[in-house]
Amino acid sequence: MAVMGGKWLALVAIAAFAQVPEPKILRPPPPQPLPFSHRTHAGTGLKCVECHSMPAPGDFATLPATAKCMACHIAVKKESPHVAKLAEFHREGKPVPWERVYRVPDYVVFSHKIHMDVDGVSCQTCHGPVEQRDRLQVEKDISMAGCMDCHSAKQASNDCQLCHDQR
């Protein structure tokens, strides 16, 4: 009988572990053309929307123009080789070629403005505690399942046409 109980326990353990999803593997932060610390810049009092504006209709949050950066860096840390590289991008009229960390597929309709207008939703809801990071990497699940879980938790619609363009 003890053998039967041991087999039963082993089957229960196997079934339980089979239900546990594999942990998500964090990818390392993508290489960036310049080192940039959100922690340092947020520590000066900058807010997300001061650098990442959302021009109408608000679907996309932009990356800052070099002029925004140079407004401070004309005087702050101007001796840094990284700021010199930033100044070179600025003089040449080129944007900094940042590697995007978060991206939704082209077939997904997403509006930053609509989400930011919801009580209890902030940049950190989808992007994590960016203001605490020196280097950014994906740390929040923005897959379809992750978005649907958030919508369910906030009692928002999970209707297909809400996010998928019906062409």
Instruction: Give the domain range for residue 132.
Output: 27-63+98-163
84: in domain = no
> At a CB cut-off of 8 Å and minimum separation 6, what does 39 contact?
131, 132, 133, 134
Looking at the DSSP bridge assignments, the partners of residue 164 are 108
20: in domain = no
Q: What is the mean pLDDT of each run of 10 residues along the chain (167 residues)?
A: 52 41 65 97 94 93 96 95 98 97 90 93 93 93 92 94 81
pLDDT at 24: 56
43: in domain = yes
Domain count, the chain: 1
* Helices 66-73 and 81-91: angle between axes, nearest 10 degrees: 130
68: in domain = no
pLDDT at 118: 93
88: in domain = no
71: in domain = no
pLDDT digits (tens, 9 = 90+) for 9-40: 444 444 444 433 433 556 789 999 999 999 99
pLDDT at 14: 44
* Preceding amide of 57 cis, omega within 30: yes
Alpha-carbon 129 to chain mean position: 9
pTM: 0.77
pLDDT at 165: 75
83: in domain = no
pLDDT digits (tens, 9 = 90+) for 119-129: 999 999 999 99
pLDDT at 13: 43
44: in domain = yes
